[in-house]
């Protein structure tokens, strides 16, 4: 299977860590970025222009606002787009392909630990999941609406989790713990919680940690006082609405 990655910015470049096990050609117009990628991935093919799409599975990783200016020739074996909020109908107007897939990975693709939302043509479902599983966990969704909702929890939430991590570290530093040690704790905490949440419901896990009248309960009360839960719910809604706006 030949993959043509169009665009190798932050997200496209992050995906290369897993995709390099395939026959990958990367189209990147920015010369300094091409040189950087050549040093990182000497076995991939780099080009500054888009070749005919025939015979390729095209992975489209440009900015959504750049889609209108995109010019391509040929018919791809399949198109996998990671353009936020860009519906399949719009992609079909710009690119000819036998099958169409929308996907939303996240920055953890750098460590091959992305959680990637996937939807589109059932005819290419298994192949798409296999390709995207090379960068982490790929989850098939039943509609574009579900994918747009999942954009928040799958694509944008890493930035929110980074905010939580930084805030926890700042709290520890404020009380006197060295910053380097605080970040070490936070990184290990995030990794351990991910493993636990794969096997246990969040509410049950919370209840196991929070004993009556204890330190966890005292801190939890302050988080509720600050509206943390409500803020995350509203962040999800704002992300979904913005995703729809980007697709117009």
- The binding site comprises 6-11, 48, 61-64
Quick check: 38 and 24 in contact, CB under 8 A?
no
List, in sequence order, the alpha helices (H) in the chain: 10-19, 31-40, 88-94, 125-132, 144-150, 157-175, 179-197, 202-209, 215-225, 228-246
- Residue ranges for the known binding site for NADPH are 48
Quick check: 1 and 57 in contact, CB under 8 A?
yes
Q: Which residues 6+ apart lie within 8 Å of 65 measured at CB?
A: none
- Pairing outcome for strands 114-120 and 100-104: antiparallel
- Residue ranges for the known binding site for NADP(+) are 6-11, 61-64
d(CA 15, CA 111): 9
Taking the CA atoms of the chain, what radius of gyration do you get in angstroms?
Answer: 21
């Amino acid at each position: 299977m030949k993959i043509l990655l169009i665009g190798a910015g932050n997200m496209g470049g992050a995906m290369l860590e897993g995709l390099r096990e395939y026959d990958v050609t990367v189209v990147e117009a920015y010369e300094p970025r091409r040189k950087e990628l050549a040093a990182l991935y000497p076995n991939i093919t780099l080009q500054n222009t888009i070749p005919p799409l025939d015979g390729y599975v095209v992975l489209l990783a440009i900015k959504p606002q750049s889609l209108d200016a995109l010019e391509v020739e040929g018919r791809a074996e399949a198109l996998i787009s990671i353009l936020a909020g860009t519906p399949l109908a719009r992609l079909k107007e710009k690119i000819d392909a036998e099958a169409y897939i929308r996907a939303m990975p996240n920055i953890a693709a750098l460590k091959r630990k992305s959680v990637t939302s996937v939807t589109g043509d059932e005819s290419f479902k298994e192949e798409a999941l296999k390709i995207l599983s090379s960068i982490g966990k790929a989850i098939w969704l039943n509609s574009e609406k579900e994918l747009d909702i999942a954009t928040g929890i799958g694509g944008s939430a890493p930035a929110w989790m980074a905010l939580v991590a930084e805030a926890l570290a700042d709290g520890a530093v404020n009380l006197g713990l060295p910053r380097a040690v605080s970040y070490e704790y936070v990184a290990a905490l995030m990794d351990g919680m991910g493993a636990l949440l794969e096997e246990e419901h969040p509410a049950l896990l919370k209840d196991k940690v929070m004993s009556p009248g204890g330190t966890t309960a005292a801190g939890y009360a302050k988080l509720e006082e600050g509206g943390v839960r409500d803020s995350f719910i509203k962040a999800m809604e704002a992300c979904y609405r913005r995703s729809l706006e980007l697709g117009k």
